[in-house]
Structure 1
Amino acid sequence: MQNPQPTSAEKTMARYMTGEVDQNLVPMRVDRISLEPALDDNNGQGLTLHTTHGNLGAIWHEAQGSARAVVLASGAGGGFNGPGRVFYTQFAEDLRQIGISALRVDYRHPADLVPSGIDVLGGIDFLKSKGYGPAVVVGHSFGGAVVIAAGAASPHCCGVVSLAGQTQGAYRAGMVSPRPLLIVHGERDTRLPVLCAIQIHSWAAHPKQIVIYPNAEHSLLEHRDELELLLKEWIPETFQKAITEQANQI
């Protein structure tokens, strides 16, 4: 299938990616941080990131002494909780327990690709400012396209995960390379058909991996245990590969 023509929003993100930007599209920089209660589930530390693009809500799960961190982005409705509005809540804590910090970000303008991509870049900037190495970014549904765009744009990203991701805005999947891209989808997804995953995989360059769960719908929760296991293997392996590659360049 021929690659689709980019929308006006995607062209704007493209100008951002290539440095042809106006003052409103410069990379988000975190100037200061306010601590907030994590009201949604009482897991993690609520944060407000005061940035050059406005205030960005986040929940921070810090693994003390870790140099590895993940940014988790939800679907078009925003929020902090990801697939089924529940998955990230426990998954972020699971990552923390294996020595990987996690930042769950909310969107300033849900369902708008360009500012949402910049929000994820702001999350990456927060991690970088705290001394973390390149991040893995994970997004669900609309967020799958968001993290593909942000991951392609950021030199401080070492891997991208699209969970039941949409194709709109995801055609830059090939620009994620040489960082790895993991594409996960449910075969019974009626909101975004599994063909979306197949299309994104076709746009992507190696290294890439596609996993399709036969009985899963859009939330992927029918295969929650398998998904958690997959991510808790893939993410540490991705960090280790990035560390090895960096060491080989020295």
Structure 2
Amino acid sequence: MPGNMWDDAEEPEDLDLRILRVAAAPLESQPGTLRIRLETTRGTIDGLLHPVEGGTAALVCVGGAMGGLDGPADRLYARLPAVLETARVTVLRLDYRQPNVFEECVLDVLAGCSFLRGIGAEELALVGHSFGGAVVIKAAELHPAVRGVVAMSPQLYGTADVETLGRPLLLIHGMADTVLSHEASEDIYRRAREPKRIALYADAGHSLVQARDDIDRLLAEWLPPALAGAPLEGGREEHGML
């Protein structure tokens, strides 16, 4: 991995992570969902897999600095399999091994990409919230199969090289966010290359719960063509403004 991967942070001596074993078991409370455990050379990554037969597109979804599997906007990640059902997209929700350790969390996302490729996925997209928004931007810079990135309420740290991303980028932020200002997304948007799009929601806070339904519609509109490599419209848009 390139020496400037971690921006101003000291680069770890060993950035290698390999998957040793994969365990999967049905989740009784959610039919059709598998509890996944990736045993790696750096520890165990837990997650939930929502597989789709007959499709080759897949998502990796990660949370903020505390990790977790549900995501923002009132458990968005749990809804994504249904939101993307007609597009036949497999969804992998990952929990970090070491929450809030940026480089380790990037490696977790890359491991999730490798796992999905190993079970037949060909086109990947990454979705992250807050701390995880920067994590997925960095991971996408490093994995060639990633077709698109969604960063929601992202932090700036870890995005210094976003201009090298070279993949479609969708930024989503609440203008009432008091944890990470929407100016972070504005800054990332200015530096990123096309195709890029930023959607700002006037009344939404950091969790984006106020924009729940709008975000569902936006991701249902944006992710399938991004995964298919189709042309995407870009630009800056504000919602809920008078």
TM class, shorter-chain normalised?
A: 0.7 to 0.9
Q: Report the equivalent of 2:237.
A: none
CA deviation vs aligned residue, 1:108-165 (integer Å, no higher than 9, x gap): 0000100000000000000111121131000000000000010011112111110010
Equivalent of 1:86, from 75, 97, 102? 75
Equivalent of 1:125, from 79, 102, 114? 114
Q: Report the equivalent of 1:175.
A: 164
* TM-score, L = length of structure 2: 0.86
CA gap 1:84/1:233 in 2 versus in 1, 3 angstroms: closer
Equivalent of 1:33, from 22, 45, 49? 22
Q: CA deviation at 1:73?
A: 0.6
Of 112-121 and 218-227, deviating more is: 218-227
Check if 1:60 corresponds to 2:49.
yes
SS at structure 1 position matched to 2:99: coil
Structure 1 or 2: more helix by fraction: 1
Q: Report the equivalent of 1:240.
A: 228
Decide whether the 8 Å contact of 2:73 with 2:211 is kept in 1: no
SS at structure 2 position matched to 1:8: coil
The whole-number CA distance in structure 2 between the counterparts of 1:57 and 1:220 is: 25
Decide whether the 8 Å contact of 2:74 with 2:209 is kept in 1: no
Q: CA deviation at 1:242?
A: 6.1
Check if 1:203 corresponds to 2:177.
no
Q: Report the equivalent of 1:187.
A: 175
Q: CA deviation at 1:172?
A: 2.0
- One-letter amino acid of the counterpart of residue 59, structure 1: L
Decide whether the 8 Å contact of 2:151 with 2:170 is kept in 1: yes
SS at structure 2 position matched to 1:121: helix
CA deviation vs aligned residue, 1:15-57 (integer Å, no higher than 9, x gap): xxxxxxx5x312x332321124648x74621110112322110
The whole-number CA distance in structure 2 between the counterparts of 1:64 and 1:52 is: 30
CA deviation vs aligned residue, 1:186-244 (integer Å, no higher than 9, x gap): 0100100110111111221111111101111111111111101111111101022269x
Structure 1 or 2: more strand by fraction: 2
The whole-number CA distance in structure 2 between the counterparts of 1:102 and 1:95 is: 9
Check if 1:166 corresponds to 2:167.
no
Decide whether the 8 Å contact of 2:57 with 2:121 is kept in 1: yes
Decide whether the 8 Å contact of 2:73 with 2:210 is kept in 1: no
The whole-number CA distance in structure 2 between the counterparts of 1:216 and 1:111 is: 24
Equivalent of 1:110, from 88, 99, 104? 99
Decide whether the 8 Å contact of 1:61 with 1:96 is kept in 2: no
- The number of residues matched between the two structures is 225
The whole-number CA distance in structure 1 between the counterparts of 2:176 and 2:141 is: 28
SS at structure 2 position matched to 1:192: coil
- One-letter amino acid of the counterpart of residue 229, structure 1: R
The whole-number CA distance in structure 2 between the counterparts of 1:202 and 1:232 is: 25
Q: CA RMSD in A?
A: 2.0
The whole-number CA distance in structure 2 between the counterparts of 1:89 and 1:242 is: 26
Decide whether the 8 Å contact of 2:73 with 2:212 is kept in 1: no
Kindly report structure 1 stretches of 4+ aligned residues shifted beyond 3 Å: 36-39
CA deviation vs aligned residue, 1:43-82 (integer Å, no higher than 9, x gap): 6211101123221101000011110000001000001111
CA deviation vs aligned residue, 1:169-189 (integer Å, no higher than 9, x gap): 122211211x11111100100
SS at structure 1 position matched to 2:180: coil
- One-letter amino acid of the counterpart of residue 208, structure 2: L
- One-letter amino acid of the counterpart of residue 8, structure 1: A
Q: Report the equivalent of 2:240.
A: none
